[in-house]
Amino acid sequence: MNTLNFVLPLGSSVLSFAFAAMVFDQWWQRRKAFQLVWGIGLLWYGISAGCEFIGGAFGWSEPLYRAWYLIGAFFVAAYLGAGTIYLLSKARFGYFAGATVLIGGLLSLLFSHANAKGGDVPLYPGSATAGTVAFVIAAIGGIAIIAATAVRPRLAPHIAMGVLIIGSVAVAYMTLTAPLAAPGFALDPATHVPVGTAFPGYVRVLTGPFNIAGALCLVFGAIYSAYVYMPKRKVMRNKVKTPVIAQLYGGAAVAVNLVASTPTAASALLKGKVNSRVPATILIALGAFIPGLTSGLNRFGVTWSFFLGEFLGVLLIFAGFLVSEEVFKNIRVGATLWSRGPSDRTLVTEGSSSGD
């Protein structure tokens, strides 16, 4: 038995539950929707990792495997990403979020109609209908999010959350009722890490609009937040008012200006003269990217890094939240355990005024 197969998931699970408790406490104090949704996402993270711990320490079973796949493949990234949509709703982040839902749906469609490499055998047999339906629903949902962002930005995250809840119910039914071949779960024979191959293709192709869209929103939402709060050198300044072109130009401007601003921001970071959200959101972006990468590798048979990526992910995101002045002004679990001093707030003010 590989000790890391239950030690790393145990660490991920305990940290996720503790983190979730702190975020829920912050929500209880401030009643911000993004904190509630992030707290739910962290609960999913803890439950998914907890399933891995139980499976690694005591053995896998069919109910445990179903719960692990449903929560890990569909819920974790999706709910954390939805929290980011709420956080950045004033910044019209819904344009990007809607596009990621469309991308996830398109990938579901492509995978469901793709053949295995070097042959005519479908990559995911029996998944063509599911992939097509997933694409249609994702397209409707993505377009609705984009349209709401254009007309009423505050409505966009509610639409995204509504689509996510409906989708969650649908995939929960399909995951819990899908036929599984004996023994009712699948592990990599070399690493004994769980893989999704026991599920039929029509379930596996549905993950795109959930985990891909969620991970992209979490990663790029954090990067965008770092850009907002860092000292900026704006290479692209002119604004475009033509619909669609304006959104494309805005996205390109953020990317170009982010690259141009990085040297100045890095220098300010080393001198301690940036808003606390800059290092915080960089840590969050890294924490979202690493498990997204390792779970993607798991899907394609590279499983050795799966549990490590999961642990590093929640650890870095947790570190990012602790660093952020705006998110955690004090640490509480029912009672205040620690609070920032005046010097931290001064630093935030100076960092905010150093932007363009």
pTM for the full predicted model: 0.88
Joined tokens for residue 185: 């779960």
- CA count, 13 A, side-chain hemisphere, 232: 20
Residue 136 inside a domain? The answer is: yes
Residue 264 inside a domain? The answer is: no
Residue 260 inside a domain? The answer is: no
Residue 141 inside a domain? The answer is: yes
- Inter-axis angle of helices 62-69 and 33-58, to 10 degrees? 150
Joined tokens for residue 170: 């649908």
- Phi first, then psi, for residue 337 (nearest 5°) are -100, -30
Residue 254 inside a domain? The answer is: no
* CATH code, domain carrying 309: 1.20.1070
pLDDT of residue 262: 84
Residue 245 inside a domain? The answer is: no
| pLDDT, tens digit, 9 for 90 and up, residues 174-185 | 999 999 989 999
Domain limits for position 309? 4-230+274-353
Give CA separation, 46 vs 68, 182, 188, 261, in Å.
Answer: 11, 27, 22, 36
Q: Which residues of 237-263 are buried (b: 16+ CB within 10 A; e: fewer)?
A: eeeeeeeeeebebbeebbeebbeebee
Residue 240 inside a domain? The answer is: no
Intervals of the chain under pLDDT 50: 342-356
Comparing CA positions, the residue from 207, 112, 109 lying closest to residue 167 is: 207
pLDDT of residue 10: 97
Residue 310 inside a domain? The answer is: yes
Per the structure, the count of domains in the chain is: 1
